[in-house]
Amino acid sequence: MNCTEFLANLTDYFDAKTASSLRSELEQHMADCSHCYVTVNTTRQTIEIYRNDELFELPESIRTKLQQAVLIKCAKMKENKGRKI
Amino acid sequence: MAMTATPEENALHPDLLLIAKVKAGDLSAFEQLMRQYDRQIFRIALHITQNREDAEDIVQDTFLKAFQKLDQFQGNSKFYTWLVRIAVNESLMRLRKRRSQKTVSMDEDIQTEEGSIPRDFADWMPNPEQNYNQSELADILRRTIQGLPPGFRTVFALRDIDGLSTEETAKALGLTVPAVKSRLLRARLQLRERLSRYFRVPTGAHPL
Ligand SMILES: [Zn+2]
């Protein structure tokens, strides 16, 4: 297995979707190839850092405000339709 | 005719019970659905638009549209996936408006080969994010993901941050499974490559 083939299987490898024979081939390549070994580890860290970060959180106060705004509009829509939606 | 889940399968998902209540006129059931998914929808919208104000508007518009179109929801996919699809469309529309150009789509910039081949093979420091304070880290992460084309950013957000499966992501974005996989790979590798600048072990230093 070369590095290009290794990368082509990286997504399935992360998803643990590879058959066990392919999986051991991939792991063998990682043991032999420091580049791919680093790529796998740092890609895994990339995913974890983004997943754990609260950069994209919606503050509770804004949540409440948005929910109320939507519900008021929904109630109006329901009324205008004059029937069950 | 579209394939539909059997009634028994439908009965298993609590969302469908809530939707039935909403259709019968119960707004509090809709409030429950909002409480359940508004944070995820916000995150997705923010990832695509990179603008908090837009993302807040998109949360509103997505749920309003869902409410309006609830009759069209067939129950043959998850409610959440259906909701994400609405949110993605709304987000792309906003992005187009902001940029006042027509070219923003899921297909934008996919021709570029950038980042599909890793170049930086330096290992990273242990817990590299701890070398930056919160606002520095936020800045790094934001700037890094902003550099990705929207189509890559969206796939990464749905798949890796929001935890949708590859199939669900494909459905939400109207893409094929292989297309999602190839974008995901390139999004991850591009982010990795760019973050490496900040997180790599300094030259001359020994890891650990
Ligand atoms: Zn390799």
Q: How far apart are CA A71 and CA A68, in angstroms?
A: 5
pTM for the whole structure:
0.82
- B34-46 mean pLDDT: 93
Picking from A42, A51, A83 by the largest number of B CB atoms within 10 A of its own CB, the best residue to mutate is A42
Same fold, B7-98 and B105-208: no
Residues of B in contact with A41 (CB under 8 A): 123-124
In the block, tokens 């974005």 appear at: B173
DSSP state of A16: T
Range name among A53-57, B47-51, B72-76, B200-204 with the lowest pLDDT average: A53-57
Average pLDDT, chain B: 85
Q: Note whether B42 contacts A: Cβ–Cβ < 8 A.
A: yes
Instruction: Work out the pLDDT band at B1, boundaries 50, 70, 90.
Output: very low
Reading chain A (85 residues) residue by residue, the pLDDT tens digits are 999 999 999 988 998 888 999 999 999 999 999 999 999 999 999 999 998 877 778 899 999 999 999 999 999 998 887 654 4
In the block, tokens 């993302």 appear at: B55
Residues of B in contact with A71 (CB under 8 A): 27, 30-31, 34
- B148-177 mean pLDDT: 90
Cross-chain Cβ contact B46/A47 below 8 Å? no
Q: Using an 8 Å Cβ cutoff, are A6 and A26 in contact?
A: yes
Q: What are phi and psi of B121, to 5 degrees?
A: -110, 20
Percent of chain B with pLDDT over 70: 84
Range name among A53-67, B99-113, B149-163, B165-179 with the lowest pLDDT average: B99-113
Q: What are phi and psi of B200, to 5 degrees?
A: -70, 155
More confident residue, B145 or B12: B145
Residues of A in contact with B59 (CB under 8 A): 58, 66
The pLDDT of residue A54 is 74
The pLDDT of residue B50 is 87
The pLDDT of residue A85 is 47
Instruction: Work out the pLDDT band at B4, boundaries 50, 70, 90.
Output: low
More confident residue, B150 or B34: B34
Range name among B29-38, B91-100, B138-147, B162-171 with the lowest pLDDT average: B91-100
Domain B105-208 top-level CATH class: mainly alpha
Instruction: Work out the pLDDT band at B2, boundaries 50, 70, 90.
Output: very low
CA atoms within 13 A on the CB side of B2: 8
Q: How far apart are CA B173 and CA B110, in angstroms?
A: 15
Q: Note whether B199 contacts A: Cβ–Cβ < 8 A.
A: yes
- B18-28 mean pLDDT: 94
Query: pLDDT per residue over B70-124, tens digit each?
Result: 999 988 778 999 999 999 999 989 988 887 655 555 555 455 555 578 888 999 9
Domain B7-98 top-level CATH class: mainly alpha
pLDDT surpasses 80 at B63: yes
**Contacts within 8 Å (CB) and 24+ apart, B58-64:** B58/B87, B58/B90, B58/B91, B58/B94, B59/A58, B59/A66, B59/B87, B60/A66, B60/A69, B60/A70, B60/A73, B61/B90, B62/B86, B62/B87, B62/B90, B63/A70, B63/B30, B63/B33, B63/B34, B63/B38, B64/A70, B64/A73, B64/A74, B64/A77
In the block, tokens 């550099």 appear at: B147
Which amino acid is located at B90 in the chain? E
Q: State ipTM.
A: 0.85
User: Which of A14, A81, A21 shows the shortest CA–CA distance to B71?
Assistant: A81
Task: Spell out the domain ranges in chain B.
Answer: 7-98, 105-208
